[in-house]
C-alpha cells in the first residue's frame, strides 16, 4: 500500500466526471452509510448487506485493514489518496486508488472515491483466506490457553461469529450423560427467545432441526433458507451447524445463524477448520473437568465409608510392662491379626508399622500428639494399608505415661483418592504450565522438551521422546526430535516395527501401552539398540484427523496404566496445539512475506503503470521500464528491443560495466529471440528499419566488469488486442539460476503493463497520423515532403494541383524546380519564416513557397515545402492599400472642406446682402451673381469633399430604391444627350433600404455623368436592380440579404493601370475644365457611410459596370407629406448667434437682421453663456457653430440645457453628429444645418423652430 499524493489534485477534480468509479459515504466510525449503484454492481454485494458494516472489515482483505483504518483517521479537509485492494463478494479483489475527503455539508462523514488502477483482478482467496484463517485460529488458541472456566466458550463463539459475520450462534459440548450443554449461547438469543422453560442444557430427546441433524449424522448442515423453529423461538433466516468430532465421537457443536447474506462454501470451510482445531483441545478440557468431578465425588464417598467403618480400638499398658489390655475385634478384618495375636505378642503393634514410618512411633512414644497421626501398617498378607490414629495418653499422679488409648481407622481408600486428586491436580498444573510455555516458545524443539519432561514427571517414566512427521509426502522417511536423556531414534519405522504398534498407534490413531517387552513376540522384533526397553507407552499426536507424530515413553518401574494413557493423551493434545501454532506461525510468516512481496510488486506495477501511462513517446517508455526493473530485480543487466512503425529501438541498461563482447552478446540474444518470436507469430518484419541504439552508463561504475551472462529471463512485448509481437525484454546475470518463478511472473506482468502503454501510444499515433493526414489533405495550401535526394515522398491534392501548374518534376519523381526558379536556388536561399515568390503569366498567378528543413526523425535532412496561391490575397492587399490611401486623403480633405465652408459662408452671406440693396448698378449686380455662382460651385465642391470623406450630414430614412432611381431618371433625361439611351432593369424583389435619398441621387447622378462623358458618340446607360444573399467583401455589416445596384455602360472601358485610382479624390482623366476628380470619390464615401460596398468591372472596348451592394431593409417606407414653404419673416424673434469666426459672425448676424431678428452675438461659448444667463428670458433661439476653441457647440448645448431645459438650439456644422444626435435632441437641439447656409434657409429654420 502506498500513498500517491502527486495525483491527488487531478483525481479530486476528475471524480466529478467519472461515473464508473465506486463511491462510498462513511460515518466517523468508518461504517458504510451509502454506496453508489456502480459500486454495488462492480462489487457484487447487496446494499442491505453492507449498510452499517465497517468498510475496513467488510470490504477489505485482512492484511489491509489496519492501514486503511489509519488512512481514514488522516482524512481532513484536503483530499488524500491511498492504493488498496477491495474485496468482491465472490472473494476476489481488485486494486483501486482510494481518494478520501470530508463532506463539506457534514464534516463528520467521509466520501471515498475508488478508481480502478489496473485492468485485472487478483484472486486473493488462498493467500488472504489463509491469512484470515491463521489470525482467527490464533485468537481461538489464545482463548483456550488463557481461559479456565466456561467463559472460554463465549470468547470462542465471538470469534466464530465475527469470522462468519453472523448475528446469532452457540458453542456447546456433549456432557457425560449425552446432553448438549451450551454455556456460550449468545445473549441476544437468551433475551429474545420466548420459548417456555428455556435452558442451556438439551437432552437428546429434545434435539431438533438443523442441530439434531448435524449431531446425529456427524456432518455439517447448511440451510440458506428460513429455518423451522418452535413457537416463541427467535426468527432464523439462515444457519450453519458444524459438529465437533474427536476420534470419531461427537463431543460438541458450533452453530451460527442470521448472516446478512447466504452462507458461502468458504464460510463452511472456515467453520470446519475451526471445529477440527477445537476438537482435541475441547476433549482434553472435558477430560480434565470430568476427572476433577469424579475425584470430588470419590472423596465424599470415602469420607462416608470411613465414618461408618469398624475402627480398631485399642489400649496399651506401658508400665510396668508393655502389653495390650484391649484390642477390638475389627483388628482381624483390618490387619489380619486377631486380638489374641496382639495379647500373645505385645510387640506386634510396633512390628506391623511400615519400616519407613517407625520414626513416627518413636515420636509418638516421646510425646503423644493430640493431632491425628497418619502412617502405614503392613497387613498380615503383606499389603500396605494407611492408618489414621487418634491417641489419648494416660498419666499417673506423677505425670508419667502409663498407658495409651486410641482408635485406628483404615484410610487406605481415602488416601488413594487423595493421591489421585493430587495426581490430577499435578496433571492439571502441568497442562496449564505447559500450555503457558507453548505461548513463550516459537521453536518446536524447545516445546518438545517441556512436554516430554512433563509427561515423564506425571507418569514416572525414565525415558521418552516426541516424534514429528516433517515430510507429509514421505511418512516413513522421518527425523525424530527427542530430549537429551532419551533414546535417539531417527526413523519412525523403528517404533512401528514393534509388533502391534504400527496398526493401532499410527494407522488407527489409538494410544496404547505394553508393560512386557521381554516376551519373545516383542523381543525378537526389537532392534539391537532397543533391547534395554522394559515397557513402552505410545500416544499419537493427531491434528485435523491425521497422525502428525507420536509421544513415546518407556521404562516406568511399576509399569504403565490407563491413567498414564489419559495423562499423556492430554499432553498429546497440547503437542497438537503447539504443532498447529508453530505451523500457523510459519504459514503466517510465509503469508506475510508473500503479502509484502506482492505489495512491493503491486507498488512497482502501480508506479510503472502511472509513469508510463503519462508518456506518448516510444523513446520514453523503455527508460522508465528499465528504472523499475533495476529496483525490483536482482540482476546485472537489463536490455530491450522493440520494432514498431519501421523503427528499431535498442536499449541496454547495465548495473555494472560490461565488455563490448557482452554488449554484442546481448544484442545478438535480443535480435535472435525477437526474430524467433516474430517467425512464430507469422508477423512480417519491416524492411530496413531505422535503428535507435541507447546504451546507458553503468549504475555502479566502480563494480567489476560483466564479462559473460550465465542466466537470463526473457519476455516478449505483445500488443494485447492483435497479439502482434513487437519486441523483447531481457534480464541477465553472471550467476547461474539467478531468477525465480516470482521473477518470471513479475516480469510478465510488467511487460503486460508496458505492452498496454505501447499499444495505446501506437493507437494514438495512428489516430494522430490519420488526423494529420486529413488536416494536411484539406489545407488550403499545398504541402509536400521531399527527401534529402529531393525526391517527392508525399504531397496533398492542393500541392499536386499547384505542381501541375508550376512544378518541374523529373521522371524519378524528383522535384527540379518551381516556376522559373530551380529547387536548389529555393533551398539554398532558405531563411526562417521567409517565403520565395513565384509568378507565372499564363494564367497570371502569384505563388509563395515556404521551405522548412527536417532536422530530426526518420526523414532528417529532407524538406517540407508549403506552396500558397496568393493571387487573390495580393489583390485584397492592393484594395486595402487603396482604401487606406483614400481614407488618409479623405481626412485631409474633410479638414480643408470645413475651413473652406466658413470662407464660403462669408462670401455667400455678404453677396446675398449686397444683392438685396435697392440701388445696385447692373454691371455690379452681374458681378455679384457671378460671385454667387462661383461660391455655389465652391459649396458643391465642399459637399463632394465631405461626402467622400464620410463627414457630410446624412438624413437616413426607409426608402424604396426603385423610387429613388425613378426620381433621378427625370433629372438625368435633362442632362444626358439624346444619343445615349437610359435603360432600367428590375428583378422581382424587395428593394427597401435605410438611406439618405439625396445622397443616393448624387451617387446615381455622378455615375451616369461619368458614363455620359466617356460616350460622346452615344451609347447605353443601364441601371439594374437585383437581390443577393452573398455577403460582399470588405464590409462589416451583418446583413444576410443585400440589394445589388449596377450602373452599366457600353463605353470604351477603363485601363487596368487606372482602375486602382478611380476612387481617389482629385484623380481624373478628364480635362480640368470638365471635372474636378471628386465625383467617384464622393460616390465611394456615400456608399461607405451607408454600410455598402462599391466595385468596378471593366473591359477595354466593352464597357464598364459599377456594382453597388446595400443592406436590404424590411420595413415599409412611409410616404412623406410635402412641406409648404414657410414665411421667412422673422420679425420679433430674438436670436443668440455664436461663432468664433468674426467674418462669419458678422455675415450671419446681418442676414438675421435683414430677416427681422433681434440679435445677440458671441465669439465663443463662454461669452454665450454669460449673455444667456442675463438675457435667457428674452432669447427665443440659439444658433451656434459646432467647431470652436475652448468650448465647442456640443458642450455649449449641454451647459445651455442645464440652465434652461427648454432651450432651443440650431447647430451649424460641417460634420455629421452620429450617435450624439439623440443626446443633443434630448437637451434642446432642434436641428442642424451644414455650412455654408443661405439666408433663406436660415429664415426657414428660425421661423419653423421658433414657432414649434
pLDDT of residue 754: 84
Residue appearing with cell numbers 452671406 = 909
pLDDT of residue 306: 37
Angle value at C-alpha 303, between 297 and 306, nearest 5 degrees: 140
Are 450 and 540 in the same domain? yes
CATH label of the domain that carries residue 149: 3.30.450.40
Strand 792-795 to strand 782-786: parallel, antiparallel, or no bridges (unpaired)? antiparallel
In which band, very low, low, confident or very high, does the pLDDT at 53 lie, cut at 50, 70 and 90?
confident
452, 414: one domain: no
Task: Please check whether residues 807 and 689 belong to one and the same domain.
Answer: no
pLDDT of residue 496: 45
C-alpha cell belonging to residue 1037:
455589416
- Which residue, 869, 903, 925, sits at the end of a domain? 869
Q: How confident is the model at residue 1072 (pLDDT cuts 50, 70, 90)?
A: low
**Cis? peptide before 732, omega within 30° of 0:** no
249 and 336 assigned to the same domain: no
Domain final position from 532, 559, 582 = 582
486 or 321, greater pLDDT: 321
- On the question of pLDDT at 585 being above 70, the answer is yes
Round to whole Å and give the CA distance between 1200 and 1178: 14
Q: Which of 101-115, 876-890, 1052-1066 has the lowest mean pLDDT?
A: 876-890
Tell the burial category of 334 from Cβ atoms under 10 Å away from its Cβ (0-12, 13-18, 19+).
buried
The reply to whether 959 falls in a domain is yes
Q: Which of 559, 582, 605 is the last residue of a domain?
A: 582
**With 90 as the cut, is the pLDDT of residue 1138 above it?**
yes
Indicate the average pLDDT of the chain: 78
Residues 354 and 375 in one domain: yes
Q: Output the pLDDT for position 1236.
A: 84
> Is residue 397 predicted with pLDDT exceeding 50?
yes
Residue 441: closest CA among 578, 548, 558: 578
How many C-beta neighbours within 10 Å does residue 102 have? Answer: 17
Whether 296 is in a domain gets the answer no
Based on the structure, what is the number of domains in the chain? Answer: 8
Under 8 Å between Cβ of 107 and 124: no
User: Judging by beta carbons within 10 Å of its beta carbon (0-12, 13-18, 19+), is residue 622 exposed, middle or buried?
Assistant: buried
In-domain check, residue 1045: yes
How far, in Å, CA of 1239 to CA of 1152, rounded?
A: 8
Question: Domain containing 1220: what range?
Answer: 1134-1251
Q: Check which CATH number belongs to the domain holding 1176 and give it.
A: 3.40.50.2300
**788 and 761 part of one domain:** no
pLDDT for the residue numbered 472: 46
Q: How far apart are alpha carbons 961 and 1246 in whole angstroms?
A: 33
pTM as predicted: 0.36
**Residue 1107 β-bridge partners:** 1046, 1095
Give the per-residue pLDDT at 122.
43
For cell 448487506, name the residue. Answer: 49
Q: How far apart are CA 431 and CA 145, in angstroms?
A: 10
Whether residues 10 and 61 fall in one domain = yes
CA distances in angstroms from 766 to 269, 617, 683, 1033, listed in the order given: 53, 13, 19, 41
Q: What pLDDT is attached to residue 239?
A: 92
CATH code, domain with 958:
3.30.565.10
Contact 628, 676 (CB under 8 A): no
Same-domain check for residues 648 and 559: no
Answer yes or no: do 34 and 77 share one domain: yes
pLDDT digits (tens, 9 = 90+) for 746-785: 888 888 888 888 888 888 878 877 787 777 777 888 888 8
- Residue 771: which residues within 8 A CB-CB, separation 6 or more? none
Same domain? For 708 and 821 the reply is: no
pLDDT surpassing 70 at residue 940 = no
Q: What are the pLDDT digits (tens) for 607-623?
A: 887 887 777 777 788 88
Same domain, 623 and 730: yes
* Residue 1147, H or E segment: helix 1142-1154
pLDDT score recorded for residue 349: 85
**CA–CA distance, 999 with 104 (Å, rounded to integer):** 69
The predicted-structure confidence for 509-540, as pLDDT tens digits, reads as follows: 788 888 876 655 554 444 554 546 778 888 88
- Within a domain: 655: yes
Q: Which of the given ranges, 11-20, 275-284, 365-374, 1179-1188, has the highest pLDDT on average?
A: 1179-1188
Cβ neighbours of residue 504 under 8 Å, at least 6 residues apart?
510, 512
Question: For 843-864, what is each residue's pLDDT tens digit?
Answer: 788 888 888 888 765 566 788 8
- Domain containing 72 — which CATH number? 3.30.450.20
Q: What is the mean pLDDT of residues 1109-1129?
A: 71
555 and 689 within one domain = no
pLDDT(216) > 70: yes
* CATH number assigned to the domain comprising residue 762: 3.30.450
Q: State the Cα–Cα distance between residues 386 and 309, nearest whole angstrom.
A: 14
Nearest in space to 627 (alpha carbons), one of 649, 605, 653, 648? 653
| Contact criterion met (CB below 8 Å) for 361 and 389 | no
Q: Where are the beta strands (DSSP E) in 872-975?
A: 957-960
132 part of a folded domain: no
Residues 6 or more apart whose CB falls under 8 angstroms from that of 831 comprise: none
| pLDDT at res. 1002 | 83
- 287 lies in a domain? no
Q: Specify the pairing of strand 1134-1138 against strand 1158-1162.
A: parallel
Give the C-alpha separation, 329 to 326, whole Å. Answer: 10
Q: Is residue 807 in a domain?
A: yes
Inside any domain, residue 679: yes
Amino acid at each position: 500500500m502506498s500513498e500517491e499524493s502527486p495525483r491527488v489534485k487531478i483525481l479530486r477534480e476528475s471524480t466529478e466526471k467519472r461515473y464508473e468509479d465506486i463511491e462510498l459515504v462513511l460515518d466517523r466510525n468508518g461504517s458504510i452509510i451509502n454506496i453508489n449503484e456502480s459500486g454495488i454492481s462492480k462489487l457484487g454485494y447487496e446494499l442491505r448487506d453492507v449498510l452499517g458494516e465497517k468498510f475496513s472489515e467488510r470490504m477489505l482483505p485482512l492484511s489491509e485493514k489496519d492501514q486503511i483504518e489509519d488512512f481514514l483517521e488522516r482524512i481532513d479537509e484536503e483530499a488524500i489518496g491511498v492504493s488498496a485492494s477491495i474485496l468482491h463478494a465472490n472473494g476476489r479483489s481488485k486494486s483501486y486508488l482510494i481518494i478520501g475527503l470530508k463532506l463539506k455539508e457534514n464534516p463528520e462523514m467521509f466520501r471515498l472515491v475508488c478508481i480502478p488502477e489496473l485492468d485485472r483482478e487478483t484472486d486473493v482467496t488462498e493467500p488472504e483466506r489463509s491469512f484470515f484463517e491463521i489470525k482467527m485460529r490464533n485468537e481461538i488458541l489464545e482463548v483456550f490457553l488463557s481461559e479456565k472456566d466456561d467463559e472460554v466458550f463465549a470468547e470462542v463463539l465471538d470469534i466464530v461469529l465475527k469470522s462468519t459475520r453472523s448475528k446469532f450462534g452457540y458453542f456447546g459440548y456433549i456432557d457425560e450423560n449425552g446432553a448438549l450443554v451450551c454455556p456460550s449461547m449468545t445473549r441476544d438469543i437468551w433475551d429474545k427467545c420466548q420459548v417456555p422453560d428455556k435452558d442451556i442444557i438439551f437432552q437428546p430427546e429434545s434435539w431438533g432441526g438443523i442441530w439434531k441433524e448435524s449431531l446425529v449424522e456427524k456432518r455439517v448442515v447448511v440451510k440458506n433458507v428460513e429455518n423451522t423453529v418452535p413457537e416463541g423461538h427467535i426468527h432464523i433466516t439462515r444457519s450453519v451447524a458444524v459438529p465437533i468430532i474427536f476420534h470419531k465421537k461427537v463431543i460438541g457443536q458450533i452453530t451460527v445463524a442470521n448472516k446478512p447474506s447466504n452462507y458461502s462454501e468458504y464460510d463452511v470451510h472456515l467453520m470446519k477448520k475451526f471445529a477440527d482445531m477445537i476438537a482435541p483441545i475441547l476433549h482434553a478440557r472435558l477430560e480434565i473437568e470430568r476427572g476433577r468431578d469424579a475425584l470430588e465425588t470419590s472423596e465424599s464417598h470415602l469420607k462416608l465409608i470411613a465414618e461408618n467403618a469398624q475402627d480398631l480400638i485399642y489400649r496399651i499398658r506401658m508400665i510396668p510392662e508393655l502389653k495390650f489390655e484391649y484390642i477390638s475385634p475389627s483388628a482381624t478384618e483390618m490387619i489380619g491379626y486377631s486380638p489374641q495375636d496382639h495379647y500373645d505378642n505385645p510387640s506386634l503393634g510396633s512390628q506391623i508399622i511400615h519400616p519407613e514410618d517407625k520414626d513416627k512411633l518413636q515420636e509418638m512414644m516421646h510425646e503423644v500428639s493430640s493431632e491425628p497421626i497418619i502412617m502405614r501398617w503392613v497387613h498380615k498378607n503383606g499389603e500396605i494399608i494407611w492408618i489414621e490414629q487418634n491417641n489419648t495418653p494416660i498419666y499417673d499422679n506423677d505425670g508419667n505415661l502409663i498407658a495409651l488409648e486410641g482408635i485406628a481407622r483404615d484410610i487406605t481408600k481415602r488416601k488413594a483418592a487423595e493421591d489421585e486428586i493430587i495426581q490430577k491436580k499435578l496433571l492439571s498444573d502441568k497442562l496449564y504450565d505447559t500450555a503457558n510455555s507453548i505461548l513463550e516458545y516459537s521453536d518446536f524443539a524447545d516445546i518438545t522438551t517441556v512436554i516430554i519432561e512433563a509427561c515423564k514427571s506425571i507418569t514416572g517414566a525414565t525415558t521418552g521422546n516426541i516424534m514429528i512427521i516433517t515430510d507429509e509426502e514421505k511418512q516413513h522417511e522421518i527425523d525424530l526430535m527427542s530430549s537429551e536423556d532419551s533414546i535417539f531414534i531417527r526413523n519412525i519405522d523403528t517404533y512401528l516395527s514393534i509388533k502391534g504398534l504400527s496398526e493401532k498407534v499410527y494407522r488407527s490413531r489409538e494410544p496404547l501401552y505394553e508393560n512386557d517387552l521381554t516376551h519373545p513376540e516383542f523381543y525378537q522384533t526389537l532392534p539391537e539398540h532397543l533391547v534395554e526397553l522394559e515397557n513402552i507407552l505410545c500416544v499419537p499426536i493427531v491434528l485435523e484427523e491425521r497422525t502428525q507424530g507420536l509421544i513415546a515413553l518407556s521404562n516406568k518401574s511399576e509399569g504403565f496404566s490407563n491413567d498414564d494413557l489419559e495423562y499423556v493423551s492430554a499432553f498429546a493434545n497440547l503437542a497438537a496445539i503447539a504443532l498447529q501454532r508453530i505451523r500457523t506461525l510459519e504459514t503466517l510468516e510465509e503469508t506475510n512475506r508473500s503479502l509484502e512481496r506482492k505489495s512491493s510488486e503491486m507498488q512497482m506495477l502501480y508506479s510503472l503503470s502511472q509513469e508510463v501511462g503519462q508518456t506518448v513517446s516510444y523513446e520514453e517508455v523503455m527508460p522508465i521500464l528499465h528504472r523499475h526493473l533495476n529496483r525490483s530485480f536482482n540482476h546485472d543487466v537489463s536490455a530491450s528491443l522493440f520494432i514498431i512503425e519501421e523503427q528499431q529501438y535498442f536499449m541496454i541498461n547495465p548495473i555494472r560495466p560490461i565488455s563490448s563482447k557482452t554488449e554484442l552478446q546481448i544484442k545478438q540474444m535480443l535480435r535472435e529471440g525477437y526474430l524467433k518470436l516474430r517467425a512464430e507469430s507469422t508477423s512480417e518484419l519491416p524492411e530496413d528499419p531505422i535503428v535507435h541504439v541507447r546504451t546507458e552508463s553503468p549504475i555502479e561504475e566502480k563494480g567489476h566488469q560483466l564479462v559473460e551472462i550465465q542466466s537470463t529471463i526473457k519476455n516478449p512485448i505483445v500488443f494485447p488486442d492483435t497479439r502482434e509481437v513487437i519486441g523483447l525484454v531481457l534480464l541477465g546475470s553472471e550467476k547461474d539460476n539467478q531468477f525465480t518463478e516470482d521473477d518470471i511472473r513479475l516480469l510478465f506482468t510488467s511487460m503486460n503493463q508496458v505492452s498496454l502503454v505501447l499499444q495505446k501510444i501506437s493507437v494514438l499515433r495512428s489516430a494522430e497520423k490519420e488526423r494529420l493526414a486529413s488536416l494536411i489533405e484539406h489545407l488550403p495550401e499545398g504541402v509536400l515532403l521531399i527527401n534529402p535526394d529531393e525526391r517527392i515522398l508525399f504531397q496533398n491534392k492542393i500541392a499536386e494541383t499547384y505542381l501541375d501548374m508550376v512544378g518541374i518534376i523529373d521522371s524519378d519523381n524528383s522535384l527540379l524546380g518551381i516556376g522559373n526558379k530551380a529547387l536548389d536556388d529555393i533551398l539554398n536561399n532558405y531563411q526562417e519564416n521567409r517565403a520565395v515568390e513565384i509568378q507565372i503569366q499564363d494564367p497570371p498567378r502569384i505563388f509563395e513557397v515556404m521551405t522548412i528543413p527536417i532536422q530530426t526523425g526518420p526523414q532528417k535532412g529532407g524538406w517540407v515545402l508549403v506552396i500558397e496561391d496568393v493571387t487573390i490575397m495580393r489583390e485584397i492587399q492592393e484594395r486595402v492599400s487603396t482604401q487606406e490611401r483614400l481614407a488618409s486623403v479623405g481626412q485631409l480633405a474633410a479638414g480643408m472642406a470645413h475651413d473652406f465652408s466658413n470662407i464660403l459662408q462669408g462670401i455667400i452671406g455678404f453677396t446675398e446682402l449686397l444683392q438685396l440693396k435697392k440701388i445696385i448698378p447692373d454691371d455690379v449686380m452681374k458681378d455679384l451673381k457671378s460671385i454667387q455662382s462661383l461660391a455655389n460651385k465652391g459649396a458643391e465642391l465642399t459637399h463632394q469633399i465631405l461626402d467622400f470623406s464620410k463627414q457630410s450630414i446624412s438624413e437616413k430614412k426607409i426608402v424604396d430604391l426603385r423610387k429613388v432611381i425613378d426620381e433621378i431618371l427625370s433629372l438625368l433625361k435633362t442632362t444626358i444627350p439624346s444619343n445615349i439611351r437610359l435603360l432600367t432593369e428590375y428583378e422581382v424583389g424587395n428593394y427597401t433600404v435605410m438611406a439618405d435619398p439625396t445622397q443616393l441621387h448624387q451617387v446615381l447622378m455622378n455615375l451616369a455623368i461619368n458614363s455620359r462623358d466617356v460616350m460622346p458618340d452615344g451609347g447605353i446607360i443601364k441601371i439594374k436592380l437585383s437581390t443577393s444573399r452573398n455577403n460582399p467583401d470588405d464590409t462589416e455589416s451583418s446583413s444576410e440579404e443585400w440589394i445589388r445596384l449596377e450602373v452599366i455602360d457600353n463605353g470604351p472601358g477603363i485601363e487596368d493601370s487606372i482602375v486602382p485610382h478611380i476612387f481617389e479624390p482629385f484623380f481624373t482623366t478628364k480635362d480640368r475644365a470638365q471635372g474636378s476628380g471628386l465625383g467617384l470619390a464622393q460616390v465611394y464615401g456615400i456608399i461607405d457611410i451607408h454600410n455598402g460596398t462599391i466595385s468596378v468591372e471593366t473591359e477595354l472596348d466593352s464597357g464598364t459596370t459599377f456594382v453597388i451592394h446595400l443592406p436590404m431593409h424590411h420595413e415599409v417606407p412611409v410616404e412623406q407629406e410635402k412641406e409648404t414653404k414657410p414665411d421667412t419673416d422673422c420679425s420679433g424673434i430674438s436670436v443668440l448667434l455664436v461663432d468664433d469666426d468674426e467674418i462669419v459672425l458678422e455675415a450671419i448676424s446681418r442676414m438675421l437682421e435683414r430677416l427681422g431678428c433681434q440679435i445677440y452675438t458671441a465669439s465663443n461659448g463662454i461669452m454665450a453663456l454669460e449673455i444667456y444667463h442675463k438675457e435667457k428670458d428674452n432669447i427665443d433661439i440659439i444658433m451656434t457653430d459646432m467647431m470652436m476653441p475652448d468650448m465647442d457647440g456640443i458642450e455649449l448645448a449641454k451647459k445651455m440645457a442645464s440652465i434652461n431645459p427648454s432651450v432651443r438650439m440650431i447647430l451649424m456644422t460641417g460634420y455629421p453628429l452620429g450617435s450624439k444626435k439623440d443626446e443633443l435632441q434630448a437637451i434642446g437641439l432642434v436641428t442642424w444645418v451644414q455650412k455654408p447656409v443661405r439666408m433663406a434657409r436660415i429664415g426657414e429654420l428660425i421661423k419653423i423652430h421658433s414657432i414649434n
